[in-house]
Amino acid sequence: QRASCCVTKHKQKTERDDSLSAKLRDSLPPPPSSSSIMLRYLKRSSSTLSSSHTRPAKRIKYTPLHPTNNLKILSWNVNGLKAVTSKYEMEQEDYSFAQQFITKDHSLDNLQYLLKKERPTILTLQETKIQKNQQELYEWKFEGYQGFFCSSIKKKGYSGVAIFVRVDWMQQQKQHKNIRIKRGFLAKEQHDEGRLISLEFDEFIILNVYAPNSAAELKRLEYRMQWDRDLLAFIDELKEDTGKAVILTGDLNVSYLNLDVWNPEDRHPRTACWTQEEKDGFKTFINAGLVDSFRYLHPDKADSYSQWSYRARNKIQNRGMRLDYILMSDSLKEGLEAAYMMPGIKGSDHCPVGMNFKLPETYLQSLHVKQMHMEEEKALSHLTDEEKRQLKEAKDYAEDELLVNESRGDGSNQAVQVETQDESEDYEHTFSAQPAGGDHQKTSFKE
């Protein structure tokens, strides 16, 4: 009896649910005619459709390419390439953009998000902390970019820098297959910590550096000051050899202005990154003709930092320092359009810094003239002193002849102009002649 009673109640409940479902279905408005709106309507009205059955978002195809002259450079101390490529944390408003690239088989880390959102022409990374045999494990993360690494030799999982160049822009370079790469200081055995890499392009040279920290109790301050001097000498050598402008990016581990630190009055003067020696070392780069891109456009802007301590959770309160820079040769500052910090990009105790600029026409013209002179000097380098002297005399003689011919050309032009006048017109010329007796006599004649 109990079993039959349960069956009866189950039948009654099923009939009641069916009748309610029919009434609910009849009360719904008719669906729209458009197929795309129909899909949205069914997803919204059906409570049984789970999110797991929806299609993955379709990837967006980018329409390149920035013009060759429009450049965006980003620099970021990632504090370990492995860490920044395994994290997925960003601001809430950025999730909608990131969702376009996330599928069932593909996630998006902070570094890939930065590349897809900003599409920089050049990205420089510091403190990668990877060895040479690990580079291939991360290259696939940089789709559409060519990577150049410099790793530490002294210690594993320490220091390291890298430069990533967008392939479509690099292919527009004349020497894109033979880009000159320099890793570290040449003939400097003490500098083998993977702190410098440079690339030479058609119009400029870019350097990516990770300056050594003076450490606790300033144990490495003297090493740091020598490193600054060697870096400046290296930059001067590059400019002298190529005649090209230099862009210096990276973590320079110094805050040289009070605006660059959240508590300048309370900070001890013998603290790493804040000593007078380090500030003076940074100013030598400024005196050598390099321009701080951020301070050039924002000389009085405060509360703009690129590094925050993890220990005290200082980023929440914006208690940071500006340790990351993009410096450029003075000849490029006319084309500077924007310089900025990107604190919204997470994954490291540093945030990326960026710069947008165009190569000025005045610089490109002067570079062309410099390169012509350098090619001429290179062609003459194999000649002896006597041959150079003879060539110089021949060149001076040719220039003198050119001046004489130009002056003769002016006179001949005047003569031609006179001869083309109407022959019937009379010209009366008066001139003064001095006979042997000394009396002046004026003579008039018709031509």
- The CA distance from 302 to 323, in Å, is 14
Which of 206, 161, 151 lies closest to 179 in space, CA to CA? 206
Helix ranges, 86-135 (H) = 95-98, 110-118
Helix ranges, 85-148 (H) = 95-98, 110-118, 136-139
pLDDT tens profile 61-79: 333 333 457 899 999 999 9
Confidence of residue 42 (pLDDT cuts 50, 70, 90): very low
Predicted local distance difference test score (pLDDT) of residue 48: 37
List 228, 251, 292, 349, catalytic entry? 251
The DSSP symbol for 267 reads S
On the CB side of 79, how many CA atoms lie within 13 Å of its CA?
Answer: 15
Is 228 within 8 Å of 211 (Cβ atoms)?
Answer: yes
Tally of helices (H runs) and strands (E runs) in the chain: 12, 16
Give the residue with greater pLDDT, 96 vs 265: 265
Predicted local distance difference test score (pLDDT) of residue 147: 94
pTM of the model: 0.71
List 109, 113, 145, 210, catalytic entry? 210
Predicted local distance difference test score (pLDDT) of residue 364: 92
pLDDT tens profile 113-122: 899 889 999 9
Mean pLDDT of the chain: 78
Average pLDDT (334-361) is 94
Beta bridge partners of 324: 251
Residue 260 among the catalytic residues: no
**pLDDT at residue 428 tops 80:** no
Confidence of residue 85 (pLDDT cuts 50, 70, 90): confident
**pLDDT at residue 250 tops 90:** yes
Pairing of strands 122-126, 70-77: parallel
Q: Which of 260-264, 325-329, 412-416 has the lowest mean pLDDT?
A: 412-416
Residue 310 among the catalytic residues: no
**pLDDT at residue 358 tops 50:** yes
CA distances from 255 to 211, 246, 274, 302, 304 (A): 13, 21, 6, 13, 12
Confidence of residue 378 (pLDDT cuts 50, 70, 90): confident
Which of 285, 299, 288 lies closest to 339 in space, CA to CA? 299
Token pair listed for 61: 């195809």
pLDDT tens profile 309-327: 987 788 889 999 999 999 9
Confidence of residue 100 (pLDDT cuts 50, 70, 90): low
**pLDDT at residue 93 tops 80:** no
**pLDDT at residue 416 tops 70:** no
